[in-house]
Chain A
C-alpha cells in the first residue's frame, strides 16, 4: 500500500460517504514470474497519455488471481482449448494440430497481431473468425456460432500462446485504416436512452468509480477474459454488446461490420500492452 493509497483510504474513512480510491494501482503485473507490459506509451494520435491495462483498476484479490495460472479460472478454458486443438473434427479428418503442430511454436505471437486484414473477404478478421475460416475451408467442419462450441476456449488458447507479447495492429494492410476510422466513429457515438459513448466512461472518466465499478480505459488485451461475475470466459464481442446494451440501446450482432471496426479501433488503442489472455476481471 503506497502513501497516496493510504491517504485516500484515510480520507474516505473521514468523509463517511464511500469515496473510493481513484488512481490505477501502482504495481507490476507478473504472471508465473513473467513480467507483463501493463503500462505502455500510447500510439501517436492516441487521446490518452499512457495506455494502462485494466488489471491495474481491479481489487487486490482480483489482481492476485491473475498472477498465478493455478488461481486463474480462465486457464481451465485455455486447457480445454488445447484439447480442442488436438481433436479431429470434420470431413477432412483433421485437427488444428494436423496442420499447425505444436501451437507453442506455430501460434507464438500470432494472437498478438489480430485483428488483421483478410484479403479474401475484403474485411478485417479476428481470431474467432480465422478459426471458423479454418474449420470450414480446411477441416470440413461447421463454423462455431458466436460464443458457442469451442469458440471461446480455442480463441483463448490461441491468444494465450502470445501471452506477454505486445498487442500490435497493422493499419497499413488493405483497408484497415478505413475500418479504424469507422471504429473510431463508433467509439465516440453516443447511444441509447442514457446517451453514452465508449469514450464517456473509458476515455473521459477512466480511473473514477461508477458506483462500485472502477472504470478502466477499456483496453482489449486480456480477451477472452475470465470474469468473476459470470465465472466464465467472456469474449470481446460479448463485452462490446454488454456495454452498448447498458446504454439502453439496441446492440449490433457479434462479428458485424460495426463490431469488427470497433475491434480494430480498440485494439489500436490497446497497442503496446502485453496480451494477458486470459485476464481476470471483476
Chain B
C-alpha cells in the first residue's frame, strides 16, 4: 500500500512535469523567413514516435497524400503532395516545421495541405474540434524530427 502511494505520488510529479512543459500555443508560433526556428516544445522531437504519427491514419495520415519509401511496408501511398524521400535534405528543420504547422505560410493559400498546428482552418469546423489543432505540439516536433531523417 505504501509502495503504491509512493508510486502514484511519483507519477503525479511526472505528470505535472509533462503538463508544465513549455508549449507554444498555435496563435503564438512565429514564422520568420519561411521558417519556425524555435521548437514548439522544450522536449526534443522523437523520430521513432514521429514515424508512427506520420503513418497513423487518425493522426498525421501523411501517407494519404505523400509517398515515402521508408514506409514501403504500408500499402497505397498517395500522390496529391510531393514524395518525401530526401525531404530532410531538401528542407531545413525550421522549414519542415513550418510546412507541418501551416503549409500555407510557406507555399500559398492555394495549397491543399492542412495546417497541422494552426487555427487558420476552414468554415463550419466540427463542433468538438473548434479551437483544436490536428496534431499536438509534441506530435509536430516528433514528425519534424522524423522528417529530418529522410535523407
State the A residues within 8 Å of B (CB): 15-20, 22, 189-197, 200-201, 204-205, 208-212, 215, 245, 247-251
Interface string of B39-81 (1 = CB under 8 A from A): 0000000000000000000000001110111011001111110
Given contacts A209-B80, A245-B126, 10 further A-B contacts (CB under 8 A): A19-B67, A191-B122, A193-B129, A195-B122, A196-B122, A208-B79, A209-B77, A210-B78, A211-B64, A248-B126
Number of residues of chain B lying within 8 A (CB) of chain A? 30
Task: A200 to B123: give the CA distance in the assembly, Å.
Answer: 14
Is the Cβ of B124 less than 8 Å from the Cβ of A250?
A: yes
Is the Cβ of A248 less than 8 Å from the Cβ of B125?
A: yes
Tell me which of A16, A194, A204 has the highest count of chain B C-beta atoms within 10 A of its own C-beta. A194
Closest Cβ of chain B to A146, distance in Å, is 19
The 8 Å CB contact of B126, one of A17, A192, A195, A209, is A192
The 8 Å CB contact of B121, one of A18, A193, A208, A215, is A193
Closest Cβ of chain B to A32, distance in Å, is 33
Is the Cβ of B124 less than 8 Å from the Cβ of A192?
A: yes
Task: A201 to B75: give the CA distance in the assembly, Å.
Answer: 21
Name 14 interchain pairs, CB-CB below 8 A, sorted by A: A17-B68, A18-B75, A22-B79, A191-B123, A195-B120, A196-B114, A209-B79, A210-B78, A211-B76, A211-B77, A247-B122, A248-B126, A250-B126, A250-B127
- Given known pairs A17-B69, A18-B67, A210-B64, the reply for A193 and B126 (CB within 8 Å) is yes
With both beta carbons as reference points, the residue of chain B lying nearest to A244 in the complex is identified as B124
The 8 Å CB contact of B76, one of A22, A190, A212, A247, is A212
Q: Is B18 an interface residue (CB 8 A)?
A: no
- The residues of A that contact B77 with a CB separation of less than 8 Å are 17-19, 209, 211
Is the Cβ of A209 less than 8 Å from the Cβ of B121?
A: no
Q: Is B94 an interface residue (CB 8 A)?
A: no
- The residues of B that contact A211 with a CB separation of less than 8 Å are 63-64, 76-78
With both beta carbons as reference points, the residue of chain A lying nearest to B112 in the complex is identified as A200
The 8 Å CB contact of A194, one of B63, B68, B122, is B122
Closest Cβ of chain A to B3, distance in Å, is 44
Closest Cβ of chain B to A123, distance in Å, is 22
Is the Cβ of B78 less than 8 Å from the Cβ of A193?
A: no
- The residues of A that contact B67 with a CB separation of less than 8 Å are 17-19
Task: A22 to B120: give the CA distance in the assembly, Å.
Answer: 31
- Given known pairs A208-B80, A209-B78, A211-B78, the reply for A193 and B132 (CB within 8 Å) is yes
